[in-house]
Copies of this chain bind each other. A is one copy, B any other.
Amino acid sequence: MKHHFADKLAERIQQLKSPVVVGLDPRWEHLPQTFRSSGESLFERANAYALFCRDVCDVVAPLVPAVKVQAAFFEELGPAGMSAMAEVIDHAQHQDLIVIVDGKRNDIGSTAMAYARGYLGGRAVNSTDSRVGAWHADALTVSPYLGDDSLAPFVEVAKECGAGVFVLVKTSNPGGRMLQDLICDGRPLYRRVAEHVEQLAAGTAGACGYGLVGAVVGATYPEQLAELRAAMPHTWFLVPGYGSQGGTAADVAAAFDARGLGAIVNNSRGIIFAHERPEYAQRFGADRWQEAVEVATRDMIAELRAALPCYT
């Protein structure tokens, strides 16, 4: 196995004292005006997304271990958007950022293997390397509705390539409750998913104690974060919902272990469009949007450090 995803993540978090993931969710209406001046065709928008996200990576690379690329916004633009996404993944990795593709993909086993190989297969080392992945992300989010045999190919490729998989367990949106909180055999559905994910994580644990298989658990459900942290000792959490969706540093503190590991907290809009937030708009404005990104990132790191004394 090459580098182990969780070990690499743990190492970078401890170096930077920062468990923050910056979410690259480019939304056309929110891009600083300078990126929107060339035109609105799918191709021009895709190009603007690539330029914008590359610039965001340059700003945050010294501050955070990872970025999360939201596939939906790139995919909305068709093939041109997918080329932009590939460019952003490459650029981020060249800046030493760990790249999580947030695609929430899955299918029946033989088809899921195509997603697994495509997203998690490694970079080409030589021309006969059969494990080359077209996107070579470090990790991918996947959906569990299709069950264990749909998750298995992702775990297989992750093990081969040292990559990570984050399975949706308890999502941050209000509607997530509709199925995830249904009581099945005396416990919520998300606990059944959590149990399976924890098994997969325990079977792939690295030196840091966490496995290659992680879980998406929303910051908007702090009680469940604490409950799941206790129930899933080998499972790394990807925690969305911080900031714009309402989650606070106090809410997410329970997702971490005593070393400040075991979770990464994502913030998308609150960082990449910080120039629109009241607290930064006047200070920086759209022209100095990069400074707003940097200060918003530093502020979030400071909030998490204050809530997680182990970092100081």
Which A residues are closer than 8 A to B by beta carbons? 25, 42, 70, 72-73, 75-83, 85-86, 102, 104-109, 111-112, 114-115, 117-118, 134-135, 143-152, 168, 171-180, 182-185, 189, 192-193, 196, 240
Of the candidates B72, B106, B118, B150, the one whose C-beta lies within 8 Å of that of A115 is B72
Question: Contacts of A145 on B, CB cut-off 8 Å?
Answer: 143-145, 168, 171, 179-180
Whether the Cβ atoms of A77 and B134 lie closer than 8 Å is yes
Return the chain B residue nearest A26 by Cβ: B114
Given contacts A145-B180, A173-B150, A184-B182, A25 and B111 within 8 Å (CB-CB)? yes
Question: Contacts of A117 on B, CB cut-off 8 Å?
Answer: 76
Whether the Cβ atoms of A178 and B114 lie closer than 8 Å is no
Q: How far is the CA of A226 from the CA of B184 in the complex (A)?
A: 24
Of the candidates B70, B76, B148, B177, the one whose C-beta lies within 8 Å of that of A178 is B148
Given contacts A25-B111, A76-B117, A78-B135, A184 and B175 within 8 Å (CB-CB)? no
A-side binding surface: helix, strand, loop or mixed?
helix
Q: How far is the CA of A178 from the CA of B184 in the complex (A)?
A: 12
Return the chain B residue nearest A141 by Cβ: B107
Given contacts A25-B111, A184-B189, A179 and B147 within 8 Å (CB-CB)? yes
Question: Contacts of A111 on B, CB cut-off 8 Å?
Answer: 25, 70, 72-73
Question: Contacts of A81 on B, CB cut-off 8 Å?
Answer: 118, 134
19 contacts between A and B (CB under 8 A): A25-B111, A70-B107, A72-B112, A72-B115, A76-B114, A76-B118, A78-B86, A81-B134, A104-B105, A108-B173, A109-B175, A145-B179, A146-B168, A147-B171, A149-B173, A150-B175, A152-B175, A179-B189, A182-B185
Q: Which of A72, A102, A174 has the most CB of B within 10 A?
A: A72
Return the chain B residue nearest A244 by Cβ: B110
In the assembled complex, the CB of A304 is this many whole angstroms from the nearest CB of chain B, namely 22
Of the candidates B80, B177, B182, B192, the one whose C-beta lies within 8 Å of that of A192 is B182
Question: Contacts of A149 on B, CB cut-off 8 Å?
Answer: 173-175
Q: How far is the CA of A183 from the CA of B108 in the complex (A)?
A: 22
Q: How far is the CA of A176 from the CA of B295 in the complex (A)?
A: 45
Whether the Cβ atoms of A86 and B76 lie closer than 8 Å is no
Beyond contacts A147-B174, A179-B192: 14 other A-B pairs, Cβ-Cβ < 8 A, are A42-B134, A72-B107, A76-B114, A77-B134, A79-B85, A81-B134, A106-B143, A108-B176, A144-B179, A149-B173, A179-B193, A182-B185, A183-B184, A184-B184
In the assembled complex, the CB of A165 is this many whole angstroms from the nearest CB of chain B, namely 15
Question: Contacts of A240 on B, CB cut-off 8 Å?
Answer: 108
Question: Contacts of A179 on B, CB cut-off 8 Å?
Answer: 144-145, 147, 189, 192-193
Given contacts A77-B134, A134-B78, A183-B185, A109 and B143 within 8 Å (CB-CB)? no
